[in-house]
Structure 1
Amino acid sequence: MVNQVRNIVIIGASAAGHTLANELIPTLPEGYRILLIDALEYSFFPIAALRAAVVPGWEERIVLPLKTSTCFPSDSIHQVIAPNRVIKLKENLVVLEKPFEGTTEVRFYKAIIATGSTQPSPMRPSLEWNMKDYLDALKKSQQEIKQAESLVVVGGGTVGVEFAGEVRALYPDKQITIIHNRSTLLTPLTESSPSGNLNEKIPESYTSPPTHLKLANSLTNLVKGHTNLILNDKVIIPQPDEPSTESNWNGSFGLQPSLVTIRTESGKSVKADYVFLSVGNKPNSGLVRVTDPSAVEGKTGLIKVDEYLKVKSTIPGGENYYAIGDVSNAPGVKTSYIATVQAKSAAVNLINEIKNKPLIAYSPGTFGGLFVPFGPELGAASITLPYLGTWTVGSGMVRSMKGRKLLLDRWGGLWKGEEKVEILV
């Protein structure tokens, strides 16, 4: 039976990869098998990772075992291959780190790269960690934050704002300072120039996606009532070879051995015993880069795809690879919602290829939104609706749509296996 099936290989059990598998389960013709490959033995929910790094008990809510019995129905031929890594892409096959069905080479009909993005812990675990290692790291983070008295957050993008909000909600008496290099939090599409005109275009970047100016202003006004904000300034990060004293920050992040001084380019100084580096996602596109460097954008690291989400590659067999989610340069903000939209589009085209039907161009749609919670109860969001434009909403909608549950209830809908998983919402 195994020798007769044609494999659909999905590299990465991310939101995009897991959603794609679910979309294919009821539609794949007989004779095709899904192989969902991931480097980790467990799945984690990055949307709630910052809360899990701050609030005790939340670490148990964001991890689940990743295996065939939790992902696929009992009567299917589909399989999860985890923990295992794809170490090389070839024409019509991938090479695994560890053997599967007696070989490290897995042939496929089509392969979809859904490897997502990388971030430092606690946002995402190290690929070397098992589930216990990740849970222990989150618990350690919780203890260190509890111990700290004065925290500095370097960077006021969505990650920095959400981290500060989680700490403020649990520990309202701690001193929290956010230092950001813009005139508002986030990265607004336009900012006021020195003359006051809204004519300065902010270049789009992957790690800090452009946001609507109204949202940036709304969130800034909210956050400055609960934290210290230093805007239009940058933290001076000491180099490893620079001499340091006990009272000056040495450039390390996390809990400091004592109260240290953080300095900015404008000459300001802030005392802190905990430093959080707020960094955006970096595409996990190394597999494609070493195979075909021309298929990866040099500036962003995103995999180049065409209008059908197929990888733009000139190497033999390149036309049999797709890329979706955070790792792809397809249009749309890098959010979990857009990742699922891409997964559904790729599923349609995979079935169309099997049935020799025309492919359908991907579209992110006209609906869009960015919800930025500041703890469970506060936050701001922008919502773009067809014909109505972009609207900014406040804490009430953010609290009900995302802030309190952080979409954990929706994560539960991904798990279709015979072995039921328990989502602690």
Structure 2
Amino acid sequence: MTNKKDVVVVGGGGAGSNIARLLSRQLNPSMHTLTLIDARPFTVFLPATVRMAVTDEGSLEDRVLIPFDRLLSKGVGEVRTGRVVAIEEERPGSGGHVVLEGGERLHYDALVLTPGTALEGPLDYPFTKEEMLAFIRDWRQKFRDANHIVLAGGGPVNIEFAAEIKEYWPEKTTTIVQSRNLPLHPSYPDRFRSRVEKECRTRGIEFVFEDYLDQEVPKDGAVTTRSGKRLVADMVVVSTGGTPSTEFIRNFDANVVTERGFVRTNPSLEVVTHPGVFCAGDVVDNEERNGLGKYERHAAVVVANVLDHLNGRALSKKYAGSVDTLALIMGKSGGVAFVNVFGGIILGNWIMWLLLSRTMFVPQARRRMGY
């Protein structure tokens, strides 16, 4: 019989791996256990995955799929590969169990939920390394073979896909079908969205605005939009926004999950009505547009409050928000970014080339994972 208190982190993406890493440095192994559970034996560094899907240049899969084996402090915690399908709470504030696919149950005194988002098309990855490498090779071949590519949705992922395609094959046509009159969500200022459109068109990317594309497979060398516009196409890429991977949380307590699949939390990032259960990352229900740049602050809040909960203290940290940013990588030569300070600053190609477009922060991500 052990008197140790058990901490479980579900999800090893940008938020979960950071939280697990910090907890492994602060938990006392004589008093606590730490378990990170992820469906894969590695994390996927998402900012580099668009380029990884398009080209084999640089063999990004060797650096973007980062194992967990060096993440945690030596002797503190373990990483389990598996999929959590249920949460069984003994009573609010008193811990419980997470249930893995196959029926195994792991006890927790404090639980951190960072399940992330299921993406579409070339980023809808399988779970084993072998299947994922085959998936990447298959999509690269599709991009090589296509000459006329239509992208459904004018969000960040499709903008980056179109730009990467143009980086490696300038002769291919790329057309983005967007439901609004400019790229991106209207929560960003029009002057930034117009700048994005300009940068895209400079690279030869075309747009069809205020229209929709429901057809995912071309027929007779073309697709047809809802308005009846016919576009030459031999490939369609769909990216209209991911789906929060929170169905197991909805089954645990439907009242804490919104209709869109996001998780309701207190300012402490504790799940409402469930003391000791915390949530971080892109499934948190707040007014921000979530992204990797905000997860350090999520992690700082969650780690402090997990320690408070384990020690029977009132939760000491509240998440006060982060500066809204969006960085679009448009090939190796640059891109455009928005930083919501001083009325909104737009960063252009030179700064993006200097800071992001060449390396996509892959070296920093690997260092954070212990490599």
User: Residues of 2 paired with 1:65 and 1:132: CA distance?
Assistant: 14
Secondary structure of the 2:356 match is helix
Partner in structure 2 of residue 261 of structure 1? 222
Deviation (angstroms), 1:354: 2.9
Matches of 1:106 and 1:268 in 2, distance apart? Answer: 54
1:276-329 Cα offsets, whole Å, 9 max, x none, are 11221211111111111111011x21011111111114xxxx222111101111
Residue 217 of structure 1 is matched in structure 2 by 194
Partner residue, 1:171:
169
Distance in 2 (CA, whole Å) between partners of 1:414 and 1:213 is 35
| Aligned equivalent of 2:98, options 94, 99, 106 | 94
Counterpart-to-counterpart distance in 1, 2:314 and 2:3: 26
CA contact (8 A) 1:259 1:271 kept: no
Secondary structure of the residue aligned to 1:326 is: coil
The answer to whether 1:281 aligns with 2:226 is no
| Aligned residue number for residue 270 of structure 2 | 310
Report what 2:14 is aligned to: 15
Identity among equivalent positions (%) equals 22
Alpha-carbon distance change, 265 to 94 in structure 1, aligned in 2, over 3 angstroms: closer
CA positional deviation for 1:410: 2.0
Take 1:77 and 1:23, find their aligned partners in 2: how far apart are those partners?
11
1:348 shift after superposition: 1.1
- Where do 5+ consecutive residues of structure 2 fail to align? 90-95
Alignment of 1:310-329 (within 5 A): 310-313=270-273, 318-329=274-285
Does 2:335 align with 1:379?
yes
Residues 183 and 232 in structure 1, CA contact (< 8 A), matched pair in contact too: yes
- Structure 1 position 32 matched with structure 2 position 9: no
Separation in structure 1 between the aligned mates of residue 70 and residue 79 of structure 2, nearest angstrom: 9
Matches of 2:368 and 2:147 in 1, distance apart? 39
Task: Give the TM-score of the pair, scaled to structure 1.
Answer: 0.80
Tell me if structure 2 keeps the 8 A contact 1:111–1:321: yes
Q: Retained in 2: the 8 A contact 1:113–1:322?
A: yes
Q: In the alignment, what sits opposite 1:54?
A: 54
Aligned equivalent of 2:159: 161
Task: Name the amino acid aligned to 2:318.
Answer: A
**Correspondence 1:113-132 to 2 at 5 A:** 113-126=113-126, 129-132=127-130
Aligned position for 2:354: 400
**Given the two structures, how large is their TM-score scaled by the length of structure 2?**
0.92
C-alpha deviations, 1:118-157, integer Å up to 9, x for none? 012421412xx31011111111111111111111111111
1:391 is matched with 345
Partners of 1:331 and 1:364 within 8 A in 2: no
CA contact (8 A) 1:49 1:124 kept: no
Q: Does residue 364 of structure 1 match 2:364?
A: no
Secondary structure in structure 1 of the residue aligned to 2:139: helix
Q: Structure 1 residue 331: deviation in Å? A: 4.4
Whole-Å Cα distance in 1 between the matches of residues 249 and 154 of structure 2? 31
Q: Which residue of 2 aligns with 1:112?
A: 112
2:368 counterpart residue number: 414
- What is the CA RMSD across the aligned residues, in angstroms? 1.8
Number of residues of Structure 1 aligned to a counterpart in Structure 2: 360
